[in-house]
Structure 1
Amino acid sequence: MAKGSSADIAVKLESLRQSFREKAVRDMDQLDEFLARMADRSLGAEEHRAVVKAMYHLLHRLSGSAGTFGLGALGSEARQLEQSLKPLIEPDQGTAPGTGPTPSVDDELTPEFFSRARQLRTFLEQTESASYESADDVLAEPVAARSEAAITVFLCDLPEAVGVFLEHTLTNHGFTVDRVEVSDLLNLSGEVCAGAFAVITHEASVASISSALQLLKRQYGISSPPLICTGSHNDFDSRYALAEMDADALFSEPLDVPLLAERIERLIDERSKAVPGKVLILDDDEDLARHYQLVLQEAGFEVHAISDPEKVLLVLADFRPDIMLLDVWMGNYSGVTIAKLIRFEPEWLSLPIIYLSSEKDRTIQLEALAQGGDEFMTKPVSDDYLVRAVQVRCYRARQLNQLVIRDSLTGLLKHSVIKQEIETEHARCLRMGHVSTVAMIDLDHFKQVNDRYGHRTGDHVIKALANLLRHRLRSTDLIGRYGGEEFVVVLPECTEGTAIDVLGKICNGFSEIQFATSEGEISVTLSAGVAELNAFKTANDALSAADEALYWRKTAGRDGVTAWHPQP
């Protein structure tokens, strides 16, 4: 994030701290009023219950939020006072928050409680760096998110013929390829190291290359980039020695480039875990919700924060978060009940819901989790811990989501998902007035490839095309496997002419890829049909037009791109 942006967020966070202090002063005034009413012996039973409950919620809110705004001592004292009131409003300690606690007047508050409650105001002046309690589980350090730029492959200390061969073939697969020496690796800039890159070397040079990569890792604080070896020694001892020197893979010569390209892609993905996601926050403390929002936005997340529980379903439908942070106590509303309500809708059954609460009772936490939540995060939460925790949970949520929406062979969007994306982009075109294009892509004579060389070869061809499309298209473009050897691409804000040019280059690049078979190397070509979404009333009509253009391309000789046009 730019320095100016970070400075702006720091100013906003300081403003929130001042706002919290002002609100805390008003809370102290209200607490004094509650204490005065509690001392009134003429107070009726129902009114007594209402005052106790209101006082409990005020202390509960302070105990959960004061530490976040640098008032840890205030939060700690409020927590102890809150615990003193808890038996009066939750006689059954096994009751989950929000299941309707009824204040009891059988127990009187002690003089010590009144004395400590009246002194709570003094803690407003004890500003400090809050000491936050860690969660029980230890979170791993987040890995830097993968850059949207193309993956760079450095070829280092390879035989000349192998280097020339890989430079040509991996470029056709969509990688940026550079042939370098070990000294060149040591001089890589921090910007390059922050991106996605891998190194391919000969088995004889692994030790020196591995040492160079370790130096880069320490110098720039990056994760270890994939180190892939080529060579002819394939016995156990040789492989063990390479693994001991931190190599990630060994490819025996002659090299199977499609498999090599797939392995590079997978290794890069495994190291790109902390992908920022979308976070929905529901907390009735507006200052606290805004604080969480600013901290997470600075870390790269897209965040929507609300304080009104009645808006949650509308926001969920519109924002579609990866995870949700949910306060447990929100005035007259219970976060546990809100979680149950959210689970009424089948599409939100898998949404990770994390409770934010100062509640420490394990039995109550477990009961709350059984009602619809997935995890507890105990307030106060430090900014650093909040960011790290959300990074890990967003990544895990997206991992699970990928299993649902992604094709297992290619990693591309499934048939139903890409069709929905076409609908979404078509609606956006109509709303915004820009031009977007949809394309149908098909592998030529693919049935013959499967029949003659086997389905394993066919799978390699399909995966190679998926990798090429990912590398050659923009990060905003949407790619799906429509079925078998058919693919669909949605190109937002892209004219028909530009789409033809881009897909034409992809066709040319793919035709140059060589696939190893039992009968020698083969190549496969592509055919594509394109249509502008804006030209049609519905997304399905546009997709049908692209499919018709693909058919025209097939009948005209395949291996190229054809645009749809009205028939005379």
Structure 2
Amino acid sequence: MKKKLTAGMVSEQLAKLRNDYLIRLPAELIALNSLAAGLSEGENKRESLEELQHRLHKLAGSGGTFGFAALSARARNLEQQTKGLLAGSLDDIDRQTRLAFAAYVAGLGETMAAVDLPKAAVIAANIDKVPGQSYNIWLMEKDAFLGNELLRQLESFNYKVRLFVGIEDVVQAAQHEQPDMLLLDVQLEQKGENASSFTLPQVLLNLESPLLFISSSGDFMSRVRASQLGAEGYFTKPLDIPLLVNRMQHIFEQRLTSPQRVLIVDDDVELAAYYRLVLQGAGMEAAVLHQPEAIIEKIKSFRPELVLLDLRMPVYSGPDLAGVIRQHDNLASLPLVYLSAETDLASQIAAMDRGADDFLVKPISDAQLIAAVSVRIARARQLGAQIAKDSLTGLLKHGSIKEALDIEVIRARRSSKPVTVAMLDIDSFKSVNDNYGHATGDVVISSTAMLLRQRLRQSDIIGRYGGEEFVVVLPECDADNAYMLLDDIRQRFAALRFSHEGKNFTCALSAGLACSEQHPDSNGSELLIAADVALYAAKRGGRNQVRVAQRAGEVMNPEE
């Protein structure tokens, strides 16, 4: 039986693939430059130009797949230019055209200017060996006290914050650097003026960083102006820090989601290849199938999130294949979309009755194809997440986290590497609900989830076990390292400030953990019970602490 890939394993393989790609990329760019330079110097070898076209074709597909959409787009443009050159006589190409073409090929490297290739390769190779991604946030806040307090709170969530007191300082820094996010305190509606008069310096508008505004005014015109300036969030004072962090986390998670996967089934080889390149250029993974009888096997191996089906194909039609797919219960929710030149409405409706979800008509623009595919996959992902994940925290539900733990314990035993499970519980949480209400209690719970996501590795698995209780599974992590990690999280959580009707308060959490090294014969459920016993010992010992289950029936605090 084929081993099921976990999120951590997929992440590791994707990181390795990207690492290998980044290592090979400089040599590939040099080879392209060499071929183009030969053309500029008067070499009229058709073989060299054909090789250049072939390399550009591959780069156009691979660049988008590995996250470099600009590189992919430029390579695709150059590929089309190369086709044009090959269509005519090479002797008719003047020197100016040759030089311009060679310079454009050389400019491929400019799309990678923001990437330090060797460094990026190292980061990709170690993506699962470091704590959660730490983002660089630029915060502009004129109020020094509020700015420093916000800086401290954001750093508790593992953000690296650079504080500015004025827009001029931000502009100066933006001349040479770029943050992962801009957080600006501005008054969009200036006194005596309409909010629409406010603008940002062009250098800030040119940044690709997400933009969030903080303001003392929450009026409609200010919010409209923020929207016009491209803001992805707008927060009014007094700030709800957990709500702000939740939006920041959501924005970053959207940018880090795995590429969307699309299977294209079409008998037109060239057109299918074109659609594949278009989708890859948009950062998706796309595969083409020309043998319809192998569609179920291809779906099992490629695991597409959407299938694009041509309506009319030799032997087997699109509706025939849709019917076969829908015969499999595990594929009942897989989005199926027809992509056909059929314009007859009655035929389209008849085809839709055979199990498809949408109908797109050829010819279709690149932008429309990308949007139609992307939106439908995003919606399918949201529905899938609602089934497996807790709605408040976005973490795995009770059953899913227990299943994940069982898998990791089996893997740890097979690889002779440790796995640690921890149970965490917010101390005296009932008093939070009693004193501040359940809505505020939900904020505390969601903040705990955000802190865990920020401080843990991508390979770690987090779930909401129930109420204010969480479970964390730490693969390849022994008890000592798990203790240090969880105790750091405990201290950072205690430093967070929550607010309710102008009053600030803090919370604490306790944790118990158990490692497979001390419980070699335990399965996932038994390891979880040991962690629960350790958690109970932490509660009984005064709360706001981490306890470790050393051996069956024995619990201690490493600091004792």
The normalised TM-score by structure 2 is: 0.65
* Contact 1:198/1:264, CA 8 A, preserved across alignment: no
CA-based RMSD: 4.4
1:552 aligns with 2:540: no
Aligned to 1:33: none
Q: Give the secondary-structure state (helix, strand or coil) at the position aligned to 2:158.
A: coil
Compared CA separation, residues 311 and 429, structure 1 to 2 (3 A): farther
Compared CA separation, residues 348 and 560, structure 1 to 2 (3 A): farther
Post-superposition offset of 1:326: 3.1
Alpha-carbon distance between aligned partners in 1 of 2:291 and 2:340, rounded to the nearest angstrom: 17
**In the alignment, which of 123, 148, 157 is matched to residue 173 of structure 1?**
157
Higher RCO, Cα 8 Å, sep 6+: 1
Alpha-carbon distance between aligned partners in 2 of 1:264 and 1:461, rounded to the nearest angstrom: 16
Aligned to 2:380: 397
Aligned AA (2:169): D
Specify every segment of 5 or more residues in structure 2 that has no aligned partner in the other structure, as ranges: 1-20, 33-50, 61-78, 81-86, 90-126, 554-560
1:11 aligns with 2:82: no
Q: Give the secondary-structure state (helix, strand or coil) at the position aligned to 2:551.
A: coil
Aligned AA (2:485): V
Alpha-carbon distance between aligned partners in 2 of 1:197 and 1:371, rounded to the nearest angstrom: 46
Post-superposition offset of 1:441: 1.8
Q: Deviations over 1:528-562 (max 9, x none)?
A: 23344684564334433333332333333332333
Compared CA separation, residues 523 and 431, structure 1 to 2 (3 A): same
* Contact 2:530/2:552, CA 8 A, preserved across alignment: no
Post-superposition offset of 1:461: 0.7
Matched ranges for 1:357-372 at <5 A: 357-372=340-355
Compared CA separation, residues 294 and 242, structure 1 to 2 (3 A): closer
Q: Give the secondary-structure state (helix, strand or coil) at the position aligned to 1:521.
A: strand
Alpha-carbon distance between aligned partners in 2 of 1:419 and 1:399, rounded to the nearest angstrom: 22
Specify every segment of 5 or more residues in structure 1 that has no aligned partner in the other structure, as ranges: 18-68, 71-124, 128-146
Aligned to 1:135: none
160-169 or 468-477: which moved more?
468-477
Aligned to 1:226: 212
* Contact 2:134/2:160, CA 8 A, preserved across alignment: yes
Aligned to 1:507: 490
Alpha-carbon distance between aligned partners in 1 of 2:536 and 2:304, rounded to the nearest angstrom: 39
Compared CA separation, residues 518 and 205, structure 1 to 2 (3 A): closer
Aligned to 2:261: 278
415-424 or 286-295: which moved more?
286-295
Post-superposition offset of 1:431: 5.9
Matched ranges for 1:440-479 at <5 A: 440-479=423-462
Alpha-carbon distance between aligned partners in 2 of 1:416 and 1:531, rounded to the nearest angstrom: 19
* Contact 1:152/1:198, CA 8 A, preserved across alignment: no
Aligned AA (2:505): I
Aligned to 1:154: 138
Compared CA separation, residues 196 and 394, structure 1 to 2 (3 A): farther
Rg larger in structure: 1
1:211 aligns with 2:199: yes
Post-superposition offset of 1:287: 7.2
* Contact 1:436/1:532, CA 8 A, preserved across alignment: yes
* Contact 1:174/1:467, CA 8 A, preserved across alignment: no
* Contact 2:137/2:159, CA 8 A, preserved across alignment: yes
Aligned AA (1:259): L
**In the alignment, which of 234, 257, 267 is matched to residue 249 of structure 1?**
234
Post-superposition offset of 1:339: 1.8
* Contact 1:198/1:226, CA 8 A, preserved across alignment: yes
* Contact 2:263/2:286, CA 8 A, preserved across alignment: yes
Matched ranges for 1:309-348 at <5 A: 309-317=292-300, 319-329=302-312, 331-348=314-331
Aligned to 1:543: 528
Aligned to 1:528: 511
Alpha-carbon distance between aligned partners in 1 of 2:255 and 2:167, rounded to the nearest angstrom: 25
Alpha-carbon distance between aligned partners in 1 of 2:175 and 2:524, rounded to the nearest angstrom: 44
The normalised TM-score by structure 1 is: 0.64
Aligned AA (1:403): Q
Alpha-carbon distance between aligned partners in 2 of 1:438 and 1:425, rounded to the nearest angstrom: 10
Alpha-carbon distance between aligned partners in 1 of 2:516 and 2:320, rounded to the nearest angstrom: 43
Compared CA separation, residues 313 and 271, structure 1 to 2 (3 A): closer
Post-superposition offset of 1:304: 4.9
Alpha-carbon distance between aligned partners in 2 of 1:9 and 1:287, rounded to the nearest angstrom: 19
Alpha-carbon distance between aligned partners in 2 of 1:514 and 1:390, rounded to the nearest angstrom: 42
Aligned to 2:481: 498
Compared CA separation, residues 288 and 433, structure 1 to 2 (3 A): farther
Percent of matched pairs sharing the same residue: 38
Post-superposition offset of 1:370: 1.9
Q: Deviations over 1:283-312 (max 9, x none)?
A: 566776666556645543344554444544
Aligned AA (2:324): L
* Contact 2:180/2:209, CA 8 A, preserved across alignment: no
Alpha-carbon distance between aligned partners in 1 of 2:223 and 2:204, rounded to the nearest angstrom: 24
Post-superposition offset of 1:446: 1.1
Aligned AA (2:151): E
Alpha-carbon distance between aligned partners in 2 of 1:258 and 1:454, rounded to the nearest angstrom: 16
Post-superposition offset of 1:494: 3.5
Aligned AA (1:555): R
Number of matched residues?
437
* Contact 1:280/1:305, CA 8 A, preserved across alignment: yes
Compared CA separation, residues 501 and 210, structure 1 to 2 (3 A): farther
Aligned to 1:45: none
Alpha-carbon distance between aligned partners in 1 of 2:175 and 2:371, rounded to the nearest angstrom: 23
343-352 or 5-14: which moved more?
5-14
183-192 or 7-16: which moved more?
7-16
Compared CA separation, residues 179 and 344, structure 1 to 2 (3 A): same
Aligned to 1:119: none
Post-superposition offset of 1:332: 3.3
Aligned to 2:84: none
